[in-house]
Amino acid sequence: QQQVKQSPQSLIVQKGGISIINCAYENTAFDYFPWYQQFPGKGPALLIAIRPDVSEKKEGRFTISFNKSAKQFSLHIMDSQPGDSATYFCAASKWAANQFYFGTGTSLTVIP
Amino acid sequence: DVKVTQSSRYLVKRTGEKVFLECVQDMDHENMFWYRQDPGLGLRLIYFSYDVKMKEKGDIPEGYSVSREKKERFSLILESASTNQTSMYLCASSPQGISYEQYFGPGTRLTVT
């Protein structure tokens, strides 16, 4: 059973556009929501993360929006660049717990 | 820089063979993890270890075992490889108590024929 549901599976965006990836979870005990970015041939790397005490977190062109009541969170990439082309995974866990539950991943392609 | 290395980038094995995947981290992290990554399924946790000689099952431990004899090294063992274990295997590590960031190795692409 998938603990975290992620959509879309793939996304194509024009350079300069906004990329939006959505995730939903069921377990209300989750209180840490990271996003990982994976380039071809590399392992995933932490991109940005949020805890549910805030509804939004921004780091440069990357923003996480969090809706606790809907149990949904999303990643927005503003002014998308070809270098952003990668696979993005959302995840959820209990804070300081060892086990993350990852989404199924979104393959993002940014067209020049 | 945290570095997690995996012994092989690509591996081809035959059905029934015993397979060892090795992972080494150089940041003195307590926690280490083994995931497999499959298209459309994301990353699924096989096993993790929070200390030397300690291990916990993840979501899909069947057909796998692990060994952690030293803090920096975590091995994944396929006792008798099967074709449905063809996958990308990712190792990760994190410090104890601050396990929100997991540092991943580059992965091992295992093909079982």
* Interchain contact, A96 vs B98, CB within 8 Å: yes
Mean pLDDT of A51-63: 93
CA B11/CA A61 separation, integer angstroms: 38
Does residue A45 sit at the B interface (CB-CB below 8 Å)?
yes
What's residue A94's pLDDT? 82
CA A2/CA B12 separation, integer angstroms: 29
Does residue A41 sit at the B interface (CB-CB below 8 Å)?
yes
> Around B110, how many Cα atoms within 13 Å sit in the side-chain half-sphere?
31
What's residue B64's pLDDT? 98
CB A25 within 8 A of CB A92: yes
pLDDT band of A99, cuts 50, 70, 90: confident
CB A52 within 8 A of CB A72: no
CB nearest to B100's CB, from A43, A49, A89: A49
Domain edges within chain A: 4-104
Structure tokens at B2: 């945290």
CATH fold of A4-104 reads Immunoglobulin-like (2.60.40)
Q: What percent of chain A has pLDDT over 70?
A: 97
pLDDT band of A96, cuts 50, 70, 90: low
Bin A16: left if φ > 0, else alpha if -120 < ψ < 50, else beta: left
Structural domain for B75, as ranges = 4-112
CATH of the domain at B99: 2.60.40.10
- Give the burial class of A2: count Cβ atoms within 10 A of its Cβ; 0-12 exposed, 13-18 middle, 19 or more buried: middle
What's residue B83's pLDDT? 97
pLDDT digits (tens, 9 = 90+) for B60-113: 999 999 999 999 999 999 999 999 999 999 999 988 765 568 899 999 999 999
Question: How many domains does chain B contain in total?
Answer: 1
Does residue B77 sit at the A interface (CB-CB below 8 Å)?
no
